Amino acid sequence: MATPIRNVDLSSTVGPLEGMAGCSRCMVVFRWRTRVVGRAFLDVQDGRVDVADVLSASANLGADALRPWLEETVGYDERDLLGTPVYRATVAICTRERADSLDGVLRAVAGLVREGHEVLVVDNAPKTDQTRQVVERYPGVRYVCELTPGLNVARNRAIREANGDIVAFTDDDAFPEQGWLDNLVRNFGDSRVQCVTGVTLPIELETEAQEMFETVSTFAHGFRRRVFDGQRDNPIAVGEVGVGANMAIRRQVIAEVGPFDERLDGGMPTRSGGDHEMFIRLLSAGHRIVYDPAAVSWHRHRRTHRELVDTLYGYGVGVYAMFTGLLLERRELGVFKQAWLWFRNAHFPELRRMLLNRPATATSELRAAEFRGCLHGPSAWLAARRQRPTGGLR
């Protein structure tokens, strides 16, 4: 049964949520004007959610949900610093043979060209010219063909091609809201901030697989702005920093820390991990990364069970491949602690359930797939290193 998604603006009168006949629950995204301040899953009765239930859920959001109201009342925004320069940004979309979804993304971001920013599509190892044909329908959007396969290869090509001071990445199955780019870029007023991520919510929950992904591996890491500081925080603990589908990076920092590791992520045996490895490198160099939920993007999760299992398997491969590279090339012993914590929190409960011969849970198959991926991660990294010995790094 599909889970409808409803937005509720707490700055105006709140009413009941209706028009959900046949649904058992809905996802409510709470906002203060355009700012997302929280979400909740509420039961649907007779196709509606009563206003009392909506208000009750909003009351449980916590003090952080009051922050936008307070900032508006006193006229304060911690991102606005005196002397902040005006940045021109490049929005980069790395894609491969997904013309239909790319068209929707371009509809969402093409207007940024009129605002003086740049939109760049990197077509990674294409088999057809469909991506080029879609891009040609959007005046001012640049098209670049990168023949070498790999998501991080495409990301590096985007950075080399970009004219903007800031390069903001979005996926070909993600749909940024109006104001997304501005809310990312405003955080770069702090010269110590080299990367900014935003909150990514599901654009639809129409299948069981999409529901399960949001349960097991959501892209939403809270609704409070957070600053991760490499001089204070553990640089390897980047699980809450954000995701590459909603990420902006200061272009000049690449000259210091190096490009994305091309042995990681999509198109390589490692499957994923390229964004998190870059986060680790930035924090290890002492820089700051900001997670700002004001930068909202919507993502279309995989719709089928088979795709979901494969995705979770790929996440396991990527994380432990990344750990393997950090250990072998940088002698980063802290990966042992992070690997143990992930195993203890995500996989040990499932392993214990199996050993005790207890019934499977709704997430058992997914956790098992992810764990299989973890076991394959080290060999996947070694295979990727044989393909690209340096991974594009200096």
pLDDT tens per residue across span 275-286: 999 999 999 999
Q: What pLDDT, on a 0 to 100 scale, did the predictor assign at position 231?
A: 95
Residue 83 has pLDDT above 80, yes or no: no
For residues 281 and 313, membership in a common domain is answered with no
Domain-located, residue 123: yes
For residues 271 and 177, membership in a common domain is answered with yes
Q: What pLDDT, on a 0 to 100 scale, did the predictor assign at position 115?
A: 93
Residues of the domain holding 149: 89-305
Domain boundary residue among 74, 98, 132? 74
For residues 256 and 212, membership in a common domain is answered with yes
Domain-located, residue 360: yes
For residues 239 and 347, membership in a common domain is answered with no
Domain-located, residue 372: yes
What's the CATH number where 291 sits?
A: 3.90.550.10
Mean pLDDT of 25-43: 97
For residues 63 and 95, membership in a common domain is answered with no
For residues 165 and 61, membership in a common domain is answered with no
Reported as a pLDDT band with limits 50, 70 and 90, residue 386 is: very high
Residue 71 has pLDDT above 80, yes or no: yes
Q: How many domains does the chain have?
A: 3
Please tell me the least confidently modeled range out of 51-55, 82-86, 146-150, 233-237: 82-86
For residues 284 and 313, membership in a common domain is answered with no
Mean pLDDT of 30-59: 96
Task: Give CA 100 to chain center in angstroms.
Answer: 21
Domain boundary residue among 305, 335, 366? 305
Calculate the average pLDDT of the chain.
95
Domain-located, residue 392: no
Closest CA to 118 of 102, 98, 141: 141
For residues 217 and 338, membership in a common domain is answered with no
For residues 123 and 201, membership in a common domain is answered with yes
Domain-located, residue 84: no
Domain boundary residue among 17, 47, 74? 74
Please tell me the least confidently modeled range out of 61-70, 196-205, 209-218: 61-70
Domain-located, residue 82: no
For residues 180 and 264, membership in a common domain is answered with yes
For residues 265 and 117, membership in a common domain is answered with yes
Domain-located, residue 136: yes
Domain-located, residue 286: yes
